Amino acid sequence: MAIVGLLYVGAVLFINGLLLIGAVDGRAAAPINLFVGGLQVLTPTYLIFTAAGDPQVILAASGLYLFGFTYLYVGIGLLAGLDTTGVGWFSLFVAVAAVGYSYANFQILGDRPFGVIWLYWAFLWALFFVVLGLKRESLTRYTGWVTIIQGWVTAAIPAYLLLTNLWRYPDAVALGLAIGGVVVFGALFVWDRRRAPRAPVPTKPAPSVPAATG
């Protein structure tokens, strides 16, 4: 059930990335945030209630609320025209929590690929904090492209592979994700900085020449 939800997390991240780069209107992006946000709240609630007290199942399900609340927060904010500061600072909370869930996946759940994926999410939600909470608008387009890429790499593609039983070689996947993330997002940052419009260099006015008298 959680894997199905992960597939649609890929969809909402894709749409939100398009929103950040200016390809999708805010109100048009609101419904998918509400749909997926609701799904990501109902799914962990069901998993926890049916876990029969299994601490590992509860641990794995509990992290889904971080994303469910984010998408509901974004969807409501887009429809109501709310300032983004609140969801930005909530994103900081999510980013810090995601580091903890990464550790849990590595050390408790034994899931190295998702240990790396949680670090991806920590990075992405940290960017949301910087752009939405601290209003660093110069990083908006970069954050949008990171969001689009992560929608596929951390959600849609892993979900499809898990659903079709093609998710194999976890150590290789974890290593590939770790190296690929550093290379791709680093290169993307350099590319985005080079494309950013440069502020015009102020020109000094030419010194005035006194009129000749005679």
- Look at residue 140 and tell me if it is in a domain: yes
- Count of domains observed in the chain: 1
Q: What is the pLDDT of residue 198?
A: 61
Per-residue pLDDT, averaged over 141-150, amounts to 97
Q: At 140, which CATH number? A: 1.25.40.600
Q: Model confidence over 21-75: pLDDT tens digits?
A: 999 999 999 999 999 999 999 999 999 999 998 999 999 999 999 999 999 999 9
pTM of the predicted structure, to 2 decimals: 0.89
- Look at residue 183 and tell me if it is in a domain: yes
- Look at residue 212 and tell me if it is in a domain: no
pLDDT band (50, 70, 90) for residue 211:
very low
pLDDT band (50, 70, 90) for residue 194:
confident
- Look at residue 205 and tell me if it is in a domain: no
Per-residue pLDDT, averaged over 163-186, amounts to 92
- Look at residue 211 and tell me if it is in a domain: no
Rounded distance between C-alpha atoms, residue 214 and residue 209, angstroms: 15
- Look at residue 203 and tell me if it is in a domain: no
- Look at residue 204 and tell me if it is in a domain: no
Kindly tell me if the per-residue pLDDT of 213 is higher than 50: no
Cα atoms in the Cβ-side hemisphere of radius 13 Å centred on 14? 13
Q: What percent of the chain has pLDDT over 90?
A: 85
Rounded distance between C-alpha atoms, residue 124 and residue 147, angstroms: 7
Instruction: Count the Cβ atoms, other than its own, within 10 Å of residue 60.
Output: 22
Q: Pull the structure tokens for residue 185.
A: 């997002």
Kindly tell me if the per-residue pLDDT of 89 is higher than 60: yes
Please report the DSSP string for 133-184 in residue order: IS--GGGHHHHHHHHHHHIIIIIIHHHHHHHTT----HHHHHHHHHHHHHHH
Residue numbers of the domain that contains 147: 2-195
